[in-house]
Amino acid sequence: MSRPAMLTVDDDPAVSRAVARDLRRKYGEQFQIVRASSGDEGLAALREIKLRGGRVAVLLADYRMPQMSGIEFLEQAMDLFPNARRALLTAYADTDAAIQAINVVDVDHYLLKPWDPPEEKLYPVVDALVEAWKAAPDREVSEIKVVGHRLSAPSWKLRDFLAANLVPYRWFTVDDPEGQRLLDAAGVGREAVPLIVTADGRPLAAPSKAELAAAVGLSTEASQDFYDLVIVGGGPAGLGAAVYGASEGLRTVLLERRATGGQAGQSSRIENYLGFPDGVSGSQLTERARRQAGRLGAEMLTTRDVTAIEARGSARVVRFGDGSEISAHTVILATGVSYRPLQCPGAADLTGRGVYYGSTVTEGAACKDSDVYIVGGANSAGQAAVFFSQYARSVTIVIRGESLERSMSYYLIQQLGAIENVSVRTCTEVVGAHGDGRLESLTLRCSNDGTHDRVEAGYMFVFIGAEPRTDWLGDAVARDSRGFVCTGPDLMLDGKRPSGWDRDRDPYHLETSVPGIFAAGDVRSNSVKRVASAVGEGAMAVTLVHRYLEAQ
């Protein structure tokens, strides 16, 4: 933890040096002594300390200064550091005015100039100020700070991005006193939110994901132009491929447009993954895999939106949204799937304001005493229901089918049955979302009799219609009617190799219609939608990459 500051403000250079010297002599080991020659300079120093997450214990300001008096300075300083102890430096002639100022801006003390000897006239006063501050100190905040509106889609997206990338941050709403102080320190108004203040004190108003990623230390630029293996997508399949590719000596880069982990990374608890008898959260599993891949030498880039892929001679070229590109001998597509938007009135307008897609752990505590609805019946929905049941008054799973048995693992069904505040509504779908600025209620329709039911709802999390995000592929590789990438045997229609195939062999099991481009995990047609199988396919794809490279 860094040392808290003592700030002195005096426009007389001799007095300023003297007070700083005397304070440094006794308090220099415990406190950082900061000098300013004017009120404006002092406020600028305080804003920088605030943005860096530091603390201020004591403020000493000269009573008479041009442009801004000591009283005016302390009054504005209180907005930034309300817990700092305050004292005025004043001449004997201004004693009455200084005493009156104690009632105006809650000044704790005043000091007469000169204060020689400091052991008698300065240190006892400062000791008392320090003791009073220690009783209720400012808390140092070294993490990234986020200021935004509680029910705002841009603020939620930014927080969700940080949480998904396991970047620690502290959240303040614009209505929090500390949130307003951060806005003031950054010199921006409420219209600039969401505001990010980096750990080194740099403010960013409404940054893009790429700007945010760079600011918090995530890699966004490739270190090379050519690799042995490019992996598109950072879910379990992509991370599995990165670990095995890097461990076997391939120059490997993983490209992720949002955050590593994919849908599995959002899971609050995965209890059927081999080797974790007590279960493991998706974020823990993701972080371990990410660190393992990095330690083995894989390069990982975030906020890189891949928009096209092509074969260019023996190279496989991946193009980004900004027009740049990187090349490799081989590519593994591991982009997974995303949840389909709920097609009902009100859902789009309330996204980020009570309606969310996938499980967002950032909203866990906010669901306290609320009625939560989970739409979907797969494992991800069940895991989310278990998680939110810890906070919510009630959790209701809404499914169109007659039971959970067809889509959810047995262990999860058993868990949910034992949780008192979790219930399941079968043969039901959401046909309306309502609320003024935030989700307040839902309209549910029973498919058996067509009846409608209006229910109160504070939050709705949607886990339906997992679709592959493969439109960017165009005609580059063969896909099935739902957009999933076809590989291996699925490409062999009537025993014939795919059109344009230029190899004297059949496609390898996970190879696409373009030699050297492979697919693994949920994005692949007819794949098993489980974390373990995705990791296994990622590893298997690397084995086939080696086979492909050896045949070149």
Say if 220 falls within a structural domain: no
Say if 274 falls within a structural domain: yes
Say if 221 falls within a structural domain: no
Considering only CA atoms, which of 515, 508, 513, 510 is closest in space to residue 533? 510
> How is residue 388 written in tokens?
């939110």
Of 422, 441, 462, which closes a domain? 462
Residues 116 and 233 in one domain: no
Residue 123: other Cβ atoms inside 10 A: 18
Considering only CA atoms, which of 313, 364, 337 is closest in space to residue 519? 337
Residue with tokens 């329709």: 445
- Contact between residue 181 and residue 79 where contact means Cβ atoms under 8 Å apart: yes
Considering only CA atoms, which of 316, 313, 82, 70 is closest in space to residue 181? 82
**Size of the chain in residues:** 552
Residues 50 and 88 in one domain: yes
CA dist 14 and 35 (Å) reads 12
Considering only CA atoms, which of 243, 154, 140 is closest in space to residue 196? 154
Helices (H), 81-152: 95-105, 118-121, 123-135
Considering only CA atoms, which of 306, 271, 333, 305 is closest in space to residue 522? 333
Strand partners, 397: 374, 424
* Phi, psi for residue 300 in degrees, rounded to 5: -130, 125
CA dist 241 and 330 (Å) reads 12
Strand partners, 23: none
Residues 324 and 367 in one domain: no
* Phi, psi for residue 502 in degrees, rounded to 5: -115, 25
What pLDDT was estimated at residue 96? 66
Residue with tokens 């974390």: 531
The dihedral built from the CA positions of residue 92, 93, 96 and 97, taken in this order, carries a sign that is negative
* Phi, psi for residue 367 in degrees, rounded to 5: -80, 5
- Contact between residue 42 and residue 15 where contact means Cβ atoms under 8 Å apart: no
Residues 428 and 441 in one domain: yes
Q: Give, to the nearest 10 degrees, the angle between helix 177-186 and helix 70-80.
A: 120
Q: How far is CA 497 from CA 254, 310, 311, 314, 474, in A?
A: 29, 19, 18, 20, 20
Say if 536 falls within a structural domain: yes
> How is residue 296 written in tokens?
């083995």
Beta strands in 15-143 (DSSP E): 32-36, 56-62, 85-90, 109-112
Residues 364 and 407 in one domain: yes
Digits of tens for pLDDT over the chain (552 positions)? Answer: 578 999 999 999 998 999 999 999 999 999 999 999 999 999 999 999 999 888 999 999 998 888 888 888 988 888 888 889 988 888 765 666 666 666 666 778 878 877 888 898 899 889 989 988 888 766 655 578 999 998 888 898 898 888 888 787 888 999 999 999 999 999 999 888 999 999 888 999 999 988 999 888 889 999 999 999 999 999 999 999 999 999 999 999 999 998 888 878 777 778 888 888 877 888 878 888 998 999 899 999 999 999 999 999 999 999 999 999 999 999 999 999 988 889 999 999 999 899 998 876 667 778 888 999 999 999 989 999 998 999 999 999 999 999 999 889 999 999 999 999 999 999 999 999 999 989 999 999 999 999 999 999 999 999 997 889 899 999 999 999 999 999 999 999 888 999 889 999 999 999 999 999 999 999 999 998 889 999 999 999 999 999 999 988
Residues 258 and 208 in one domain: no
Residues 375 and 452 in one domain: yes
Say if 199 falls within a structural domain: yes
Residues 422 and 493 in one domain: no
- Contact between residue 395 and residue 389 where contact means Cβ atoms under 8 Å apart: yes
Residues 106 and 90 in one domain: yes
CA dist 415 and 402 (Å) reads 19
Say if 444 falls within a structural domain: yes
Beta strands in 168-225 (DSSP E): 169-173, 195-197, 203-205
What pLDDT was estimated at residue 471? 94
Burial class (CB in 10 A: 0-12, 13-18, 19+), 466: middle
Residues 403 and 502 in one domain: no
Of 462, 477, 493, which closes a domain? 462
Expressed in angstroms, the distance from the first to the final Cα of the chain is 56
Say if 239 falls within a structural domain: yes
Strand partners, 58: 6, 85
> How is residue 417 written in tokens?
């049955």
Q: How many folded domains does the chain comprise?
A: 4
Considering only CA atoms, which of 252, 256, 228 is closest in space to residue 242? 252
> How is residue 351 written in tokens?
């996204």
How confident is the model over 408-439, as pLDDT tens digits?
Answer: 999 999 999 999 999 999 999 999 999 998 99
Say if 344 falls within a structural domain: no
Residues 409 and 458 in one domain: yes
Structural domain boundaries, residue 85: 5-135
CATH of the domain at 208: 3.40.30.10
Of 165, 181, 215, which closes a domain? 215
> How is residue 247 written in tokens?
């461990």
Residue with tokens 């860094």: 2
Q: How far is CA 402 from CA 38, 291, 405, in A?
A: 73, 42, 9
> How is residue 167 written in tokens?
């970047």
CATH of the domain at 392: 3.50.50.60
Helices (H), 81-188: 95-105, 118-121, 123-135, 153-164, 177-186
> How is residue 407 written in tokens?
């889509």
How confident is the model over 120-135, as pLDDT tens digits?
Answer: 889 988 998 998 888 8
Residues 474 and 333 in one domain: yes
